[in-house]
Copies of this chain bind each other. A is one copy, B any other.
Amino acid sequence: MISEVRRLLDEKKYRELRDLLCDEEPADVALLFDKFPKDEVPIMFRVLHKDFASEVFVEMETDLQQALIEGFTDRELSDIMADLFLDDTVDIIEEMPASVVRRILNHTDTERRRQINKLLNYPEDSAGTIMTMEFVRLKTHFTVADAFKTIRRQGVEKETIYTCYVTDEKRVLLGVVTVKQLLLAEEDTPITDIMIDDPVFVHTDDDKKDVSLAMSKYDFIAMPVVDSEQRLVGIVTVDDALDVIQEEDTEDIEMMAAITPSDKPYLKTGIFETWKNRIPWLLILMISATFTSKILTHFEGSLATLPILTAFVPLLMGTGGNAGSQASVSVIRALSLGDITMRDFLKVLWKEGMVAILCGLSLGIVNFGKMYVFNDVNRAEHGLEVSLAVSLVVSIAIAITVIIAKVSGGMLPILVKRIGLDPAVMASPLITTIVDVLSLLVYLGIAQTILAYFGINI
């Protein structure tokens, strides 16, 4: 495909190029353009049919869109802007630098500019920011035939026609009717007879992720959005819900790995920008880890008496960290999917507590057996008693650390959400750092107690 486009472009066979490109899906053409030098994209873009060109434009990455806009004549810009759906225009505007935004708004008619400004003013991550105002509105006195007439007249410009909305004269949402219902009904049926009363809806201020999860739960292809007075102001379509879910999952995953979320694809994020997204948490966690060196320095004397004890510190910390991550990540994901809410605190505590005890015991026992069988604390060198005592200390410390790690890993995300932060910050790296400190204290405390019991003073 690329080589074919290359050839047609070089031979200036633009008509054939148009036929070739316009047969593809817009998303594929956008991906293809990304593989060509930026100065050739405007040429290819201009050969496309107008409507198709707008569809391709929407699918492009931000950097290519910006390059194109900057190269457009005023006329071209106006044409493209008039063709775009409202929610797509807002998405594009949100990513562009101020100078480009000004130029776009200058080439948009007044009514549309008003709508764009309204959408831009909804709170970040709210349903208002992803909704479109282009839906089919039906009046209460309509029959099925009237509804079809409206759809045929307005349909071309609407993002979806398959779900239509019945509102009263104050635009308050009264019901929903699908094209499927309309097709299966008689022409003269009043739409109020077949519409779904009291439909599910969301508010403009609702979180866009909750809206998307609700659409998934109800299997909707469009969700009505109302303002504080229940007036229908827009709809969210399922393709946008899909995008939101993928973006939010990526954001969760990045936060879980201590990365500041960015909404650009991996290869589109520059080296310096990637560094900026990663370094803050690395610094915070590195500084926090200073506690571990303080503790170890403090116990330096004790550890010098029996240096073999330090050999098991990384093992202990690693196991504790892994156990804690499992719990925190499970709870963060469950919170994110809405499977649990803050009210399930006690259920989570009970479950993580029981799992923690099971995991702690199994790991402690296996570790003791392993240390004995592989003679990890050399019996010939240290004597049988010390060897057994140290193995016991390490194994008990593992069991207790795992229990602490799992319970705090399970609880902290809920507490963090309680105080209004994103629970995903409480994932692996932060939990691991907290568990590192706790496990050291547990380990050294147990060592002193048990070894004293064996008559070994450290």
Contact = CB atoms under 8 A, between A and B. Distances in A.
Contacts of A200: 25
Copies, count: 2
Nearest to A351: B271
Interface in A302-359: 303-304, 307-308, 310-315, 317-319, 321-323, 325-326, 328-331, 333-334, 337, 339-340, 344, 347-348, 351, 354-355, 358-359
A161 B161 CA distance: 13
Interface string A11-40: 000000000000101010000000000000
A419 interface: no
B312 A266 contact: no
Interface residues of A, number: 112
Contacts of A292: 311, 314-315, 318
Given A307-B304, A314-B293, A329 B253 contact: yes
Nearest to A199: B25
Q: From DSSP, what is the main secondary structure of chain A's interface residues? A: helix
A254 to B, nearest CB: 7
A275 B321 contact: no
Interface stretch (A97-105, A124-132, A212-220, A449-457): A212-220
Contacts of A275: 355, 358-359, 362
9 contacts: A155-B184, A161-B183, A215-B242, A249-B249, A257-B328, A267-B347, A274-B330, A293-B312, A293-B315
Give 6 closest A-B pairs by Cβ, nearest first: A266-B334, A257-B329, A296-B311, A292-B314, A219-B239, A265-B339
